[in-house]
Amino acid sequence: MTNGVLILAGATASGKTELALDLARRFDAEIVGADSRQIYRGMPIGTAAPTDAERALVPHHLVGFLDPHERYSAARFARDAAAAIAEIHARGKRALVVGGTGFYIRALVGGVALAPEHDEALRDRLAREARVHPPEVLHAWLAVRDPSRAAALDPHDTYRIVRALEVALAPADARRTEFTGSTLREAGIPSLLVFLDVAASEVDARIERRIDAMLEAGLVAEAERIGARAAAASAVGYPQALAYLRGWCTADELRAALVRATRRYARRQRAWFRGEPAAQPLARADVERAAREKLGWT
């Protein structure tokens, strides 16, 4: 009954969670998260993670399982997600991958070569570069070596920029051969990648409502608890909240900064998925039909 994997991607605040829950109930599916922020536990507000009530409705995998100080990679995600999908299929259920982290999804499908074994010398060199140069300089360097990856990253996200440079600067033979984890392509599992096509104006309005809800729910206190040293603290929203805690901006300026940063992130996500050849932009109302017609889900 598995009939492949439906991958529901889209920009932040585009309505993926609500649609995914509806589709999962309709098709007896379980959800595998593909969000590089929602993997961390103890950060439900800033990452807009599925609530406990939503997770009680449909089983979720790879959501809220990692310590905020722990590093994670696309290679590890591909391996973990493939294992979760295999377990879901073994139970006779369908798998619905949901998220906005394009590089994770590309890795899972099998559309990119990854090198999970780190070159310590290269890592040390990049760490020194990060201490000397601002993130914008590192981002410009990445844009030369891997333009599509650079376009998907926040120019101020030092950790992810350095990690991407580590992959981009690895020897070509290492990039081609070191990753041997399972992908959907390797496993022979068909997939349908859908990009939720929502007007930018609607996403912008949803972002404003989400930011207000996050602030009311306690985003600033959550950021203070996570702290600036956590690997997860580079996620959109936390640097801005920490700046407010340091007295660098007012409450109104914080809200404006959060809205601005989240809109920029959503635009990068849209640009990424529009550049993915396999991604099919669909309106919410058309996703169910596509799953039925292209994957044979009934």
**Do residues 215 and 161 share a domain?**
no
Number of domains in the chain: 2
Q: Do 213 and 160 sit in the same domain of this protein? A: no
Position 114 scores a pLDDT of: 58
pLDDT attached to residue 123: 75
Same domain, 126 and 171: yes
The least confident of 84-98, 136-150, 284-298 is: 136-150
262 lies in the same domain as 205: yes
Domain assignment present for residue 136? The answer is yes
Asked if residue 168 and residue 215 are part of one domain, the reply reads no
Q: Where in the sequence is the domain holding 244, given as residue range(s)? A: 201-266
236: domain CATH number is: 1.10.287.890
Percent of the chain with pLDDT over 90: 69
195, part of any domain: no
Q: What is the pLDDT of residues 4-41, one digit of tens each?
A: 999 999 999 999 999 999 999 999 999 999 999 999 99
- CATH number, domain at 162? 1.10.20.140
* Residue 274: C-alpha distances to residues 2, 11, 62, 280, 294 (Å): 27, 11, 25, 8, 20
233: in domain: yes
- 165 plus 214 within the same structural domain: no
* 254 within a domain of the structure (yes/no): yes
pLDDT at 182: 72
Model pTM greater than 0.85? no
Does residue 161 sit within a domain? yes
